[in-house]
Amino acid sequence: MHRRRILWGTLSAIGAAFTASRANAATETPPPGKLKVVCHLDDLGKVNFVIGNIQNHLDGVGGPGNVTIALVVHGQALKAFRSAAANPDLTKHVRQLTTDGIELVACGNTMKSQNITADLLPGFVAAERGGMVRLAELQSQGYLYLRP
């Protein structure tokens, strides 16, 4: 009887130690390496939400030097980034994202369909082959795909 208690106690202690080590491993930060993330935005109603998510991401990783982020915009969302229509807060945020090195991509197909030439906020580049093609290219380069 006494041996069973010792055996049971030992097994319980080993199990607890293993569980604790797994819990610690789950909360550790991943090995150093610069994440690459591409955000996909096509919903006009989510523009401010996505811009906020990008800023939160930058803040969460300690700044733009620790992550590479691209934002690919197409469809109705591109209307928010037209120079004449953009609100001052969005203009300010886009300027900061450009300063932080965020790649801002406008879908060339959407630009054609909405008759947008060069009247986007500064920092945007056109994806001449289309936003979806640019998304696929970035993913093939190891970017993690996020669609908030």
Are 131 and 119 within one domain? Answer: yes
- Summarize the confidence of residues 87-111 as an average pLDDT: 95
**How many domains does the chain divide into?**
2
Summarize pLDDT for 17-59 with one digit per residue, the tens.
555 555 544 444 444 578 999 999 999 999 999 999 999 999 9
Please state which of the ranges 93-102, 111-120, 122-131 shows the lowest mean pLDDT: 111-120
Range of the domain at 10: 1-30
Q: pTM of the full predicted structure?
A: 0.77
C-alpha separations of 84 from 18, 51, 118, 119 in Å: 60, 19, 11, 7
Q: Is the pLDDT of residue 16 over 70?
A: no
Are 1 and 13 within one domain? Answer: yes
Are 95 and 123 within one domain? Answer: yes
Are 38 and 21 within one domain? Answer: no
Q: In whole angstroms, what separates CA 112 from the centre of its chain?
A: 26
Handedness of CA 40, 41, 43, 48 (dihedral sign): positive
Q: Is the pLDDT of residue 11 over 80?
A: no
pLDDT for residue 25? 44
Q: In whole angstroms, what separates CA 88 from the centre of its chain?
A: 23
For the chain, what is the mean pLDDT?
86
Are 104 and 71 within one domain? Answer: yes
Tell me which of 26 and 122 has the higher pLDDT.
Answer: 122
For residue 50 the two structure tokens come to 């996505």
- Specify the amino acid at residue 128: E
Q: Is the pLDDT of residue 137 over 60?
A: yes
Q: How far apart are CA 63 and CA 58, in angstroms?
A: 5
